[in-house]
Amino acid sequence: MLELQSIRYHPATTAQPVLRGLDLRLAPGAPTLVAGRSGSGKTTLLEVICGLADPDGGTIRWNGEPLNGRQRRWLCGLVFQFPERHFLGLTVGQDLRLGQRHLSSATLQAVLARVGLADLPLTAVPEQLSGGQQRRLALAAQLLRDAKVLLLDEPTAGLDWTMRDGVLDLLLTLSKDRAVLVVTHEPEVFLPRIPNGWRLEEGLLRPLTRELSLR
């Protein structure tokens, strides 16, 4: 389990803290949802969790052990809102092998099948894929890293309802054996199937209800 305790973060570029003593627990079994308006600090929260930024106060622990930024980067896999940021203009196979050149084609094809891309050739170019396929490919890269915590920034943004349902099905499956955190400004897309939700406001989390999600 990943546990955030009293996390504070105040970037030098902002007048007020973005996170003000925030607490959160993430565990395998079901995804966790954090909703919030644009500018509420959702992406910043992901960056702090995955080690791209260090909190000004508080602790982040994995199974009771405190983690530094480098350890969080190894533990967590972040999928950006704009998945094209993950790719370097290479083929699917080359992108998936970055930092892991020893991986066999069979291993790559197995993880692609796990994220619903069984028919995707390793010679395909990521930039030519649909938005939904790019998100699945970015998830496949994190699974190959064996990330224990998956962090997803607006994973359904720009997708039609069919693609949204497919991404949600995938997240529910992946959360069975790893912690999954989704941040979004559209909680109504997730609430029917991800009841474990929070709303980020003024740097703190409070339980998310359907009434709050519609504000």
Q: Which domain holds residue 101?
A: 2-213
Number of domains in the chain: 1
| Domain at 109, CATH number | 3.40.50.300
CA distance 149 to 19: 20
Strands (E), 63-162: 65-66, 76-79, 149-153
Q: What pLDDT, on the 0 to 100 scale, is given for residue 177?
A: 93
Which pair of tokens denotes residue 125?
């170019």
Q: How far is CA 204 from the centre of its chain?
A: 19
Q: Which pLDDT score is estimated for 131?
A: 84
The DSSP output letter for 102 is: T
Structure letter (DSSP) for residue 21: E
Look-up: residue for tokens 């890269």?
A: 141
Rounded CA separation 196/27 (Å): 11
Residues 6+ apart with CB under 8 A from 141: 77, 86, 95, 96, 98
Characterize the bridge pairing of strands 204-207 and 179-184: unpaired
Q: Please name which of 118, 100, 98, 99 lies closest in space to residue 109, comparing C-alpha atoms.
A: 118
Residues 6+ apart with CB under 8 A from 16: 10, 203
List per-residue pLDDT tens for the chain, 215 residues long.
999 999 999 998 888 999 999 999 999 999 999 999 988 999 999 999 999 999 999 999 999 999 999 999 999 999 988 877 778 878 999 999 988 889 999 999 999 999 999 999 999 999 999 888 998 999 999 999 999 999 999 998 888 888 888 889 999 999 999 999 999 999 998 988 898 899 999 999 999 876 555 45
Question: 35 is written with which tokens?
Answer: 């909703």
